[in-house]
Structure 1
Amino acid sequence: MNPKTFGRNAIRVVAAAAVLGLSVSVGAGTAFGDKTPAANSSALPANDTPHPEKTTEAKPNTPCASSQPAGDVATVPTPQRVLGLEKAWQFSTGAGQTVAVIDTGVARNPRLANLAPGGDYVSTGDGTQDCDGHGTAVAGLIAASRVDGQGFAGVAPGAKIIGIRQTSNYFEVKGTGTDEQKIADNSVGNLNTLASAIRHAADLGATVINISEIFCSNSVPPDSNIGAAVQYAAVQKDVVVVVAAGNNDACKSVNPVLDPTDPTGDQWSRIIQYVSPARWDKYVLSVGSIDPATGSASKFTVPGPWVGVAAPGQDITSLDLNYAANSKYITTGLTHQGKMGSIEGTSFSSPYVAGLAALVRAKFPRLSAAEVIKRIEATAHAPAGGWDPYVGYGAIDPVAALTADVPTQLPPKQPFAAQSWRMPVPQPPKAPDNTARNVALIGTAVIAVLLILGYLASFPIRRRLGMHD
């Protein structure tokens, strides 16, 4: 599988919804009418000790990512401020919850004191090595601790993180060399290792799993093992599985937007770009990206009938994988192969929701995974149609998710049906009430007549009195 770079393009290196070795476009046909299939439990991988499928090695002459330290560390980042996390922490900090981050690994950092190794499917580490910086940034958004004098913190600073390295852009199968076909065939991180990582995370006791990786295909992908793994995690292990919706730099074809002539039509019949694991809608919560400054869907977010909610995916600040050289511990960008890029993408929308899931699970420990997802969706700020394929049920609201009453049922993932009604026929206006005017006119006329009569009557009197003009 062809490895992809982070981000929306080669410059935006850390927006790795591109999946770092998982995102490819295969097939040429368009499939219609295919909805999320029932998971095939026989495709569930065994829970073996994490290991690469083949012997791997670091790519030659490819140093690990470097970071761009944040400037004003005292300022609360815009996404964090928009989400109102300070208020949400009055109700929950995620204490007692464990979030597995299946990504490029999670580097140890003083602000991830509760980081535990979860295994390595890329090399011989334990999951707490991160050459790419992506997994560390994701974990920071979920659970970075609060520090006096610094505005940035994770959504659930009381939660524990399990780091699982499942993919990387800095490793390759040993002996690949420079042959392009071998590079395509021997990328580290694929659907098999992703399925194994999901199963392993669930068996390690994670209560929430974050997957900021995608696989794109123009036909139904060969991901029955992913379906089996997310079903196992969500149903058998009661884990909230949160996944990125994908970026359009990785998913080259974009699913059509709503048809204005048929807004409530079957969205699944219009799919031209399948995204996995997002398409396993029965078992995962798929997250699109919004611009925190405007609340509108980000230009790069991939729409689909599986999108559940949205969260900020732009203007991101998170933990720095190179904290030893940066006492501030936080970053706003990474340099990948000499190109500096900002941190943005649905990869970073997903951890905001994973952190919120940890907050909700800590506040409502009796809720099942499915009920946690429903609460997050029900309390989101809905778009005008109630749901749309870019932002799902809308932008998350942590405070509402922790405090509001939610309905027993959510409407289906489609916009509200168009409604029409007959406008009432206007009633003819009432005749004007001219009583006051008439009284005034009549009174005036009477007075005038009396004055005239009085004047005329004065002539005889004046003659008798000998008065002359």
Structure 2
Amino acid sequence: MGSGPMVTHTNSTARLLGVAASTLVLATGATALPSGPAQAADTITAADQPYFAYYHLDQARAKGYTGQGVTIAILDGEVDTSAPELAGADITDKTPCTVTSSASTRQHGTDIASVLVARDYGIAPQAKLLAYRITLTSAGDTSGSDCRGQLSVSKDDISSLLNTAMNDGAMIISLSLAGASNSDSLKWAMARALSQGVIITAGAGNDAKEQTFESFGHWSGVVSVSAIGTDGNRQDYSSWGEGVVSAAVGGPITVRNLQTQQNEQAFGTSFATPLVAGSLALARQKWPQATTNQLLQLLIHTGTNPDHTWNQYTGYGGVAPGAMVNTDPSQYPDENPLTNKSMGPEPTPEEIKQYTDGVVSPFEIAYDNSYTYRGLDENVVGDNRNAYPTHLGTSPRYHGK
């Protein structure tokens, strides 16, 4: 079962991870999973989403766990905020340049936003959602000339959008994309997230195969998410691999087809990913004093696998938002448990330190408003390609004991 078309996106390769039973998504090359006949477009409610009861989200809301005070970013298609399910949600399109989403990516972005913050059935309905439009050219998306950016990295590149989301205050970034890239700019964006405590969740893929190096899960620190059903078992379409950390319900998800205005059933790790991101938002709200590392420790220590053991199919097991808000993460060490993935992931601990010490070439970093170059390369001074504050020789590594 396909996960959508493989597309080229500037320095990275990415594809949408939703698999929906609709001609809209079939037109992009995805394979439909069987579902019942399309229904008239009644407003979608919590009763239409099996994950809502599975995760006891009614109880979470009754206790005030709604993601309030937490800022989540999605990098996806355009979010259609006129969808009735998104009425009242706090959503801001922060795309830094002109990106026009195709029907399929607009559908996908709207569906992902709804799982996160729809007032009736979103997992974190009071979180602040920042939306950034990606450009999937093979899906028919287009970007304007104003997207041309620093050096060879455009403003709508994945690395640029990750940094822009962090610039804008995102605490959690959700990527319902599969992607493969070894670009320097993406590596340093990942290093920034690790050093600044920003959590990135990403789908494992829908190709029913080992897909570590075709997903963002191969990056150090990324929470790669596979799909399970409400029976707790991995779905047969879900990919797996050494980078998988968690799992969540991947369907059926009821979505509104934006073209036909009919309600349909959809499946995919696309939907599992925001459910993990939203669970982390609930935990962030409940435990504001916990460090990001402790929240990640909480995620793996409350996973539903027996004894919270790890496997390549569901990571540490299904996410358990109820256990996450009922378990104090301060008991866990302030150490990131996801930087020791066994396939030797990047960025390495030394590369993360290079970033924090300010010795990474400014020509390899895209749209990071927190970065100052503190290395020794005098050639960067006065180079009009260098967009960053530069203080030569001030890195802490030159002044340590």
TM-score interval (norm. to shorter): 0.5 to 0.7
Q: Does structure 2 conserve the Cα–Cα contact (< 8 Å) formed by 1:112 and 1:143?
A: no
Q: Does structure 1 conserve the Cα–Cα contact (< 8 Å) formed by 2:252 and 2:266?
A: yes
Distance 1:320 1:205, change over 3 A: farther
Cα offset, 1:222, TM superposition? 2.4
1:171 pairs, out of 138, 141, 154, with: 141
Structure 2 CA distance for aligned equivalents of residues 279 and 343 of structure 1: 26
SS for the counterpart of 2:201 is strand
1:378 pairs, out of 275, 284, 301, with: 301
SS for the counterpart of 1:133 is helix
Look at both structures and tell me which one has the larger radius of gyration over its CA atoms.
1
CA-to-aligned-CA distance 1:19-78 (integer Å, 9 cap, x gap):
9xxxxxxxxxxxxxxxxxxxxxxxxxxxxxxxxxxxxxxxxxxxxxx9973587472521
Partner of 2:332: 408
SS for the counterpart of 2:253 is coil
Q: Does 1:215 align with 2:179?
A: yes
Q: Does structure 1 conserve the Cα–Cα contact (< 8 Å) formed by 2:95 and 2:132?
A: yes
Cα offset, 1:275, TM superposition? 2.6
Letter of the structure 2 residue corresponding to residue 165 of structure 1: R
SS for the counterpart of 2:305 is coil
Structure 1 length-normalised TM? 0.57
Distance 1:248 1:161, change over 3 A: same
Q: Does 1:290 align with 2:228?
A: yes
Structure 2 length-normalised TM? 0.66
Partner of 1:228: 188
Q: Does 1:241 align with 2:200?
A: yes
Distance 1:5 1:357, change over 3 A: closer
Structure 2 CA distance for aligned equivalents of residues 223 and 67 of structure 1: 44
Q: Does 1:104 align with 2:107?
A: no
- Structure 1 residues not aligned, in runs of 5+: 20-65, 147-152, 175-188, 256-271, 334-341, 415-469
Partner of 1:119: 95
SS for the counterpart of 2:238 is coil
SS for the counterpart of 1:274 is helix
Distance 1:72 1:284, change over 3 A: closer
2:292 pairs, out of 369, 374, 377, with: 369
Partner of 1:181: none
Q: Does structure 1 conserve the Cα–Cα contact (< 8 Å) formed by 2:16 and 2:178?
A: no
Q: Does structure 2 conserve the Cα–Cα contact (< 8 Å) formed by 1:67 and 1:321?
A: no
Q: Does 1:206 align with 2:206?
A: no
What is the number of residues matched between the two proteins? 305
Q: Does 1:346 align with 2:276?
A: no
For residues 144-159 of structure 1, the aligned pairs below 5 Å read 144-146=118-120, 153-159=121-127
Q: Does 1:274 align with 2:213?
A: yes
CA-to-aligned-CA distance 1:409-445 (integer Å, 9 cap, x gap):
679879xxxxxxxxxxxxxxxxxxxxxxxxxxxxxxx
Cα offset, 1:344, TM superposition? 1.0
Structure 2 CA distance for aligned equivalents of residues 157 and 373 of structure 1: 21
Structure 2 CA distance for aligned equivalents of residues 307 and 372 of structure 1: 17
SS for the counterpart of 2:194 is helix
Structure 2 CA distance for aligned equivalents of residues 5 and 375 of structure 1: 28
Identity fraction in percent: 27
Structure 2 CA distance for aligned equivalents of residues 77 and 10 of structure 1: 16
Partner of 1:138: 112
Cα offset, 1:377, TM superposition? 1.8
Cα offset, 1:97, TM superposition? 1.0
Distance 1:369 1:167, change over 3 A: farther
Q: Does structure 1 conserve the Cα–Cα contact (< 8 Å) formed by 2:226 and 2:247?
A: yes
Structure 1 CA distance for aligned equivalents of residues 27 and 321 of structure 2: 25
Cα offset, 1:192, TM superposition? 7.1
Letter of the structure 2 residue corresponding to residue 313 of structure 1: G
Q: Does structure 1 conserve the Cα–Cα contact (< 8 Å) formed by 2:302 and 2:308?
A: no
For residues 389-400 of structure 1, the aligned pairs below 5 Å read 389-400=312-323
The structure with the largest helix share of the pair is 2
- Structure 2 residues not aligned, in runs of 5+: 1-5, 9-14, 31-37, 145-152, 343-401
Q: Does structure 1 conserve the Cα–Cα contact (< 8 Å) formed by 2:135 and 2:143?
A: no
Q: Does 1:195 align with 2:171?
A: no
Letter of the structure 1 residue corresponding to residue 124 of structure 2: A
Distance 1:112 1:161, change over 3 A: farther
Structure 2 CA distance for aligned equivalents of residues 392 and 296 of structure 1: 12
Q: Does structure 2 conserve the Cα–Cα contact (< 8 Å) formed by 1:234 and 1:369?
A: no
Q: Does structure 2 conserve the Cα–Cα contact (< 8 Å) formed by 1:17 and 1:213?
A: no
Partner of 1:464: none
Q: Aligned Cα RMSD in Å? A: 3.8
Partner of 1:83: 55
Letter of the structure 1 residue corresponding to residue 244 of structure 2: V
Distance 1:173 1:405, change over 3 A: closer
Distance 1:273 1:356, change over 3 A: closer
CA-to-aligned-CA distance 1:353-390 (integer Å, 9 cap, x gap):
11111111111112222222221221121147811111
Letter of the structure 2 residue corresponding to residue 376 of structure 1: L
Letter of the structure 2 residue corresponding to residue 84 of structure 1: H
Q: Does structure 1 conserve the Cα–Cα contact (< 8 Å) formed by 2:124 and 2:281?
A: yes
